[in-house]
Amino acid sequence: MKNKTLVEVCVDSVESALAAQDGGADRVELCDNLMEGGTTPSFGSIEIARKLLNIGLQVIIRPRGSDFLYSDLEFEIMKRDIQICKEIGVDGVVIGILDENGEVDLLRTKELVELARPLSVTFHRAFDVANNADKALEDLIRIGIDRVLTSGQEATAFEGLENITDLVERAGERIIVMACGSLTERNVGKFVEKTKVKEVHLTGFGEIESKMKFRNERVFMGGTLRPPEFSRNVTSSEIIGKVCKQLN
């Protein structure tokens, strides 16, 4: 019998989390600000998600966008966010800290892992901008991280396919390599077949048009690089269903 491939869906709302669950996902990673790669969501969102979901709930612990070199103040915020997530009852947290040389910040990462236990701990795509993937992988294994999320240090999973395949072989049973990066219902089966990853991470987004009848097209909220004001991306239970069916 074919081994099951775990499907984690990256979501930025409780609405998307519920759609992922309806589609058959095994787990969600709840974030905010996906335009910045994901930051810690509101605790209201985490609480409601925990109340309504019966699948795994992971929460990203990332105080801001940009790089993964954090100040002492930001590190204190991350620790407090983890404590609150434990109080709410999430299943795991997603972290990532590098030092100024692009290596895993061993001391701080270890402190966060110890604080988070017994929750599951994932190291996110800070791994993809580390200066040496092999060393970073061994560092994470030594610290006791449960899984690493990666596109193989490339823009997409297929561009990083060879690197991901190599990471899976190097990791063995010591750590889970979870692949991400433009995986869709159309390509994920082929990707898993080639790389042998046991877990995949994707959004499954579909665009939803706003119900607003009046629209002032002259005004927009945010900077010049901006999402459309009158549509938004929400996880599609149909797309997630196709992913799960293809894999399992």
Q: Is residue 87 part of a domain?
A: yes
Q: Is residue 1 part of a domain?
A: no
CA distance 149 to 24: 20
> What pLDDT score does 207 carry?
83
Q: Is residue 120 part of a domain?
A: yes
Render each residue's pLDDT in the chain as its tens digit; 248 residues.
357 899 999 999 999 999 999 999 999 999 999 989 999 999 999 999 999 999 999 999 999 999 999 999 999 999 999 999 999 999 999 999 999 999 999 999 999 999 999 999 999 999 999 999 999 999 999 999 999 999 999 999 999 999 999 999 999 999 999 999 999 999 999 999 999 999 999 999 988 888 888 888 767 776 556 666 678 899 999 999 999 998 98
Q: How far is CA 186 from CA 109, 128, 162, 173, 219, in A?
A: 36, 24, 19, 28, 36
CA distance 82 to 187: 34
Counting the structural domains of the chain, the total is: 1
Which residue range forms the structural domain that includes residue 119? 6-247
Q: Is residue 217 part of a domain?
A: yes
Instruction: Give the pTM.
Output: 0.90
Q: Is residue 60 part of a domain?
A: yes
> What pLDDT score does 105 carry?
98
Q: Is residue 174 part of a domain?
A: yes
Q: Is residue 152 part of a domain?
A: yes
Q: List the alpha helices (DSSP H) in 57-155.
A: 72-88, 106-116, 133-143
Residue 109: CATH number of its domain? 3.20.20.380
